Amino acid sequence: MEVLQVDEVIATLLLQRGIETYEEAKTFFRPSIKHLHDPFLMKDMEIAVARIDKAISGGENILVYGDYDVDGTTSVALMSSYLKTLYPNVATYIPDRYEEGYGLSFQGINYASDNDISLIITLDCGIKAIDKVAYAAEKGIDIVICDHHRPGSELPKAVAILDPKRDDCNYPYDELCGCGVGFKLIQALASRRGQSVVELFPYLDLVATAIAADIVPITGENRTLAYFGMQVINSAPRAGIKAIIAQLKKQTLTITDVVFVVAPRINAAGRISHGLHAVELLTEQNEDVAKQFAASIEEFNAERRELDQDITLEAFRQVEKLGEEERSTTVVYNENWHKGVIGIVASRLIETYYRPTLVFTKSGDKLAASARSIKGFDVYNAIEQCQEHLIQFGGHTYAAGLTLKEENYQAFKDAFEEVVKTTIDTHLCTPEILIDKEITLPEVTPKFYRILKQFAPFGPKNMSPIFMSKQLQDTGWAKCVGTDNAHLKVTVVQRNTQPIGGIGFGLGDKLPKVANKKPFDAVYSIDENVWNGETNLQLRLRDIK
């Protein structure tokens, strides 16, 4: 506290984030490009750069290949647009979600072969594509893999594999997203050409968008990339991102805005139509053309929202019809559900049932599923223990995907339930709000909030601080607002302090707890409310009792 000259609350918040020294605090509050690691510390980086340089000097055709989600499409936009500043013979490929499914596909390799392409760079996929990489080699195509998913027991025989999660990779930070790994590759390529990392800053709006969308920890190198990426988004975004955010009435975007506004629109292209639409948007340099792309993607997003709502309702009905409310897992299936939104539906089911969840649909002659998990439970490991029933699977601790034969659905469902039931710590199945610190309302000042804002960008392992205050009272004007009166609006005091406004989204049913000036305890974060040109601090209520 003395060294940093901060109060006890700020000191506590820093300690909770593992920040104990002046130097660590300086690094946290003042991210610097000096905090970015040397890309050549990553296993196989030298080999990857040498192979790409050889392709460029030899006039080879290069294919940049990525997945259809935000991380994949931003990665393809980043890599292809950088390579095209060096060399013209660069094509892009995003697999069709419905025809090809996730990751490197035989169709994509055939496309490369048919177009005389001898080098494929995969982004956000490829770490488990052993058979596909072997197939490409038979056709005389080399592959450089850039991925961040967990490898299996065997690695593909690619020319180079850039993945900080490789057991034999000693890169100092292993939580990069796919676009982050792609950025390290262009950083390495640029350094060989005498370019500084500062010259690559215009690409960081893509990296920050991918970090936000892929829900990777905002610590270490990710924090630095996100910090500078948000500066680019707010000062000089590329035409495609500018066209998306033009629809917002906000001067300055936070990373939360990127998660809930920018990312879903980029995702919508791959979910409803084709991920190449997103790549076109993100690489377009003409602002008028970008606006047209953004308008069509907005239509995809509206359609995605409608599908999401309809399928979520059907999934709830299925759980109730099967009487599965008391299970340790939620596993539902309908062959007609849109593959593009089953991940979103899985997240919606967790909000209600709060347990590891899989949503299945038909994909060609197989079933495909998106898995989502709850805090503290590794759904990837649980799926891995059921792999005898699967064709393939991949993903992270909290989100994964898999495919299986239809006849194996019930056996997998039973096995997954058994694994989760016997391994999950039951207290994890009750959602909890972790409180950073109890404070009093007089501590909520503009100066305090200015310091809190410097904790941003927020995300996993650096969430927006949550506070608790006891014995609050509404001033008598509490009311429900919004559609169906779903939200709670209050103005509160604590023992005759200055009143402060508060909003609780989804807390409309808590109105009786605060009515008639009854005292209550509240858990909240702090943000700003802009109304009629005036900006005031407000409590963003998370729960009350």
Q: Does residue 145 fall inside a structural domain?
A: yes
CATH number at residue 334: 3.10.310.30
Q: What is the pLDDT of residue 144?
A: 98
* Token pair 């759904």: residue: 379
- The answer to whether position 317 is within a domain reads no
Residue 66 sits in the same domain as residue 17: no
226/140 same-domain check = yes
132 in any annotated domain: yes
Segments of the chain scoring below 50 in pLDDT:
none
Is the same domain home to 224 and 348?
A: no
- Asked if 144 and 75 sit in the same domain, the reply is yes
Largest CA distance in the chain: 78
Residue span of the structural domain in which 7 resides: 1-25
Residues 258, 204 share a domain: yes
Q: What is the pTM of this model?
A: 0.85
**How many Å separate Cα 184 from the centre of its chain?**
19
Structural domain contains residue 30: no
Segments of 283-344 assigned E as strands: 330-333
Confidence at residue 308, expressed as pLDDT on a 0 to 100 scale: 86
Cα–Cα distance measured from residue 216 to residue 212, given in angstroms and rounded to the nearest whole number: 7
Helix runs in 358-514, H state only: 379-384, 409-423, 446-453, 511-514
CA distances from 361 to 70, 107, 311, 403 (A): 21, 22, 11, 10
- Between CA 229 and CA 244 the distance in angstroms is 16
302 domain residue, yes or no: no
pLDDT in tens, 454-475: 999 998 889 999 999 999 999 9
Q: Which of 58, 110, 117, 53 is nearest to 90 (CA)?
A: 117
Is residue 303, in this structure, part of any structural domain at all? no
Tell me, yes or no, whether 515 lies in a domain: yes
- Residue 128 contacts residue 392 (beta carbons within 8 Å): yes
Q: Looking at the structure, do residues 196 and 286 belong to the same domain, yes or no?
A: yes
Number of domains present in the structure of the chain = 4
- The reply to whether 424 and 522 lie within a common domain is no
**Is 312 inside any structural domain?**
no
Residue 215 region by backbone torsions, left for phi larger than 0, else alpha for psi between -120 and 50, else beta: left
pLDDT of residue 273: 66
* Domain shared by 70 and 19, yes or no: no
Confidence at residue 2, expressed as pLDDT on a 0 to 100 scale: 58
Residue 8 phi, psi (nearest 5): -60, -40
Which one-letter DSSP state was computed for residue 151? P
CATH number of the domain enclosing 444: 2.40.50.460
pLDDT of residue 341: 84
Identify whether residues 243 and 206 lie together within a single domain.
Answer: yes
Strand partners, 379: none
